[in-house]
Amino acid sequence: MKKKYNVLIVDDEFLARKLLSEYVSKIDYLNLIDTCPNATKAMEVLKNENVDILLLDIQMPDVSGMEMLKMINNKPAVILTTAYSEYAVDAFALGVVDYLLKPFDYARFMQAINKAVSYNVSDQQSDSVQVNDYILVKADYKLYKVNYEDLLFIEGQHEYVTFHTTTKRITALYSLKNLEETLPKDKFVRTHKSFIVSIKHIEDIDKLNVTVAGNKIPIGASYRDSLIERLSK
């Protein structure tokens, strides 16, 4: 039996909650556990229920969706639903899975839900399971074994990252910051806000870039000193 994902809807507009509820009811692997008109009630639900997917409005009285996001310790997969595009950058920085601009249709909603399901399958906080000399990467409903020896560099792309190996590329829903903390520090180093590279595969380094297997990887100004220090050890 396919796993059911618990959904919580938070929106101060009744019609918006009604529409989202109808969309959720069309998907047999979603289970709507509650709809909330404000963040206060939603936080209570989050304390008492296991929520997998949170559909969250931004503009709400008293506590906004963005403020609520900062209050949640163990975030479920969060899909923001809003009429305002200007919050997108900050929202993705807070780790949301998708950003739905109202009005949106069912097809676009399904696209967001698929991302949320992928998030839950990968379980972002433990997306990667470190075991001995390899990392297990969950992507496309598969589990890939990536040997550290074969991992060239990891490239961050908003809420996704791409693992570049000697034989393939794997794109998955991961946090580059979490990966930086998970990967062994004697084998990998952060060179830029968007890149982690394999120390073993670094071929040369200049003022602006490191070369890894023929690929020029930028060096961020704030990472240069620590990079040189790591390579000198």
Q: Which two tokens stand for residue 28?
A: 């047999």
- pLDDT, mean over the chain: 87
Q: 0.85 exceeded by the pTM?
A: no
- Report the candidate in 121, 164, 112, 111 with the shortest Cα–Cα distance to residue 142: 121
pLDDT greater at residue 123 or residue 139: 139
Q: What is the pLDDT of residue 43?
A: 95
- Report the candidate in 63, 73, 55, 20 with the shortest Cα–Cα distance to residue 39: 63
d(CA 112, CA 186): 37
- Report the candidate in 161, 198, 193 with the shortest Cα–Cα distance to residue 183: 198
Q: Which domains does the chain have, with CATH numbers?
A: 5-122 (3.40.50.2300), 125-232 (2.40.50.1020)
Q: Which residue blocks in the chain are alpha helix, DSSP H?
A: 14-25, 39-48, 65-71, 88-93, 106-122, 176-182, 224-232
Task: Give residue 56's Cα distance to chain centre.
Answer: 16
> Where is average pLDDT lowest: 75-89, 130-144, 159-173, 195-209?
130-144
* pLDDT beyond 50 at 129: no
Residue-wise pLDDT for 30-42, tens only, equals 999 999 999 999 9
- Report the candidate in 68, 61, 98, 100 with the shortest Cα–Cα distance to residue 84: 100
d(CA 49, CA 43): 10
d(CA 89, CA 202): 32
pLDDT greater at residue 42 or residue 75: 42
205-to-19, 162, 211, 215, 231 alpha-carbon distances in Å:
54, 22, 6, 11, 10
Torsion angle of the four alpha carbons 101, 104, 110, 114, in this order, in degrees rounded to the nearest 10: -10
